[in-house]
Amino acid sequence: MKKELIFVLLFALLGITAQSALAASTPQAVPPASQLQDPGRTQQFIQLANGWMEGSTSTTDEQQLAQPDPDLVVYLTFDDGPDPKWTPQVLELLKQYHAIATFFEIGRNIRSYPEISLQVAEGGNTIGLHGYNHLDLTKLGYSDFYLEVVDTRAAIADALASNPQVEGALTPCLRPPYGAVNQDVYAYAAQMNYALSFWHIDTRDWSGVSPEEILDTVSANIAPYKVILMHDGGEKRENTLQGLELVLHELTLRGYTFGQYCTAYGQAYTP
Ligand SMILES: [Zn+2]
């Protein structure tokens, strides 16, 4: 009888302990954005990942030396594609430098060249939205904004559908054409669970600047986590291609690596 009582008490105690442990580990509310984007937490994760890599018995010293410095990541982004002439050349350059990028594509271009969007994704890159008709979103009401987004998203999804391995290349990121935003655009994007994607370094490659000027703009402003804007769609992109090669060469020499600004999980934190 006594033994039974002890067991009952023990189980009751365990139950209470388990419940309070559960309560302690269950978030009371959605954490604030500042907590989600805490660089300290990112650093912790990187340290954990490094620890795991160091602990791996198959990792040689040489491989460890070759590990990229996670603090030197930068983000390349390309707007206005896909384009049958320029996009494959951009992809080839990225491949040569083991670089990846996020492409913000125009819906109607994707419908014209879905195979190019597929190539983008198969190169390990991700695809964000740049509207279906490249309209100034600040001029639209919600229903037109909604169509610009869902039609572009559907075009990307259709383009990637033939290769299930790259379906994850579609991202919930929207780069507003011309960078034009107002309170409505922010509200509409939030309503649709899209991140608005901007940039830090505008190479102005669309304006006819020389490849050297593109390099100078990037060199003068580059720092970890910076987002670089270039264009793989449009009329003349020879200077973009040459400028991109200079940028890839220079940044690689400086030890930078190229990360994914947007993934299926959302947009990278940029301090
Ligand atoms: Zn654009």
Residue 204 CA, ligand 1 centroid: distance in Å: 12
Per the model's pLDDT, the better-predicted residue between 201 and 46 turns out to be 201
> What are the backbone dihedrals phi and psi of residue 171, each rounded to the nearest 5 degrees, phi first?
-115, 155
The amino acid that residue 177 corresponds to is P
The reply to whether 201 falls in a domain is yes
Q: Any bridge partners for residue 74, and if so which?
A: 258
pLDDT tens-digit readout, 49-82: 333 333 333 444 444 445 667 789 999 999 999 9
Tokens of 260: 């994914």
Annotated catalytic residue, options 184, 231, 232, 249: 231
> pTM, whole model, 2 decimals?
0.76
Residue 79 CA, ligand 1 centroid: distance in Å: 5
The reply to whether 19 falls in a domain is no
pLDDT tens-digit readout, 73-112: 999 999 999 999 999 999 999 999 999 999 999 999 999 9
Per the model's pLDDT, the better-predicted residue between 213 and 15 turns out to be 213
The reply to whether 206 falls in a domain is yes
Residue 224 CA, ligand 1 centroid: distance in Å: 24
Mean pLDDT of 122-134: 98
Residue 82, preceding bond cis, omega within 30 degrees? yes
Catalytic residue status for 79: yes
pLDDT tens-digit readout, 245-259: 999 999 999 999 999
Residue 18 CA, ligand 1 centroid: distance in Å: 54
Please count the structural domains in the chain: 1
pLDDT of residue 46: 36
214 is in which domain, residue-wise?
69-267
pLDDT of residue 68: 65
Tokens of 124: 């390990």
Residue 236 CA, ligand 1 centroid: distance in Å: 14
Mean pLDDT is lowest, of 51-60, 117-126, 187-196, 210-219, for 51-60
The reply to whether 18 falls in a domain is no
CA distances from 125 to 50, 120, 258 (A): 24, 6, 11
The reply to whether 214 falls in a domain is yes
Catalytic residue status for 144: no
pLDDT of residue 197: 98
193 HSE (CA, 13 A, CB side): 7
The reply to whether 167 falls in a domain is yes
The reply to whether 27 falls in a domain is no
Annotated catalytic residue, options 79, 80, 205, 232: 79
CA dihedral (157, 159, 162, 166) positive or negative: negative
pLDDT tens-digit readout, 91-102: 999 999 999 999
- Residue 178, domain CATH: 3.20.20.370
Whether the pLDDT of residue 23 is over 60: the answer is no
Average pLDDT of the chain to the nearest whole number: 83
The reply to whether 132 falls in a domain is yes
